[in-house]
Amino acid sequence: QVQLVQSGSELKRPGASVKVSCKASGYTLSTYAMNWVRQAPGQGLEWMGWINTNTGNPTYAQGFTGRFVFSWDTSVSTAYLQISSLKPEDTAVYYCARNSGSGSYYDYWGQGTLVTVSS
């Protein structure tokens, strides 16, 4: 069965970097695009962008350019989200979410990774 398993919670100081992983199983990573979605504490869902897991080409939503990088490694069936120069307002749960085969809705989600940025 399809599963997306994300790396564990992170506590970081402002200015540090973090890399969140999303390991896919039950299907071939390169077959479906992978999205990243942010959920700040007590807030709704915000689409950050997506990565074409066939070509590696990323697309970033407005507000997620510069410090955010999507990458992937098909040899380990894993997508990554790296955030640099962390700020307290980056504190959130970050989800990877697989595009469905028929449209840009998300049929499988990782369990989420809480990134806390605090001094």
44 forms part of the interface with other proteins (CB under 8 A) = yes
Residues 6 or more apart whose Cβ sits within 8 Å of residue 39? 45, 46, 92, 93, 94, 95, 112
Stretch that binds other proteins, among 8-16, 19-27, 56-64, 80-88 (CB under 8 A): 56-64
Nearest CB to other proteins, comparing residues 74 and 116: 116
How many angstroms separate the CA atoms of 112 and 115, rounded?
A: 10
- Site mask, other proteins, residues 77-116, x = CB under 8 A? ------------------x-x--x-xxxxxx-xxxx----
> Within positions 18 to 37, which residues make up the interface with other proteins, using CB under 8 A?
none
Burial (0-12, 13-18, 19+ Cβ within 10 Å), 27: middle
Min dist. Cβ of residue 111 to other proteins (A):
6
Binding of other proteins by 62 (CB under 8 A): yes
Identify the CA nearest to 95 among candidates 55, 50, 57: 50
Residue 8 in contact with other proteins, rule: CB under 8 A: no
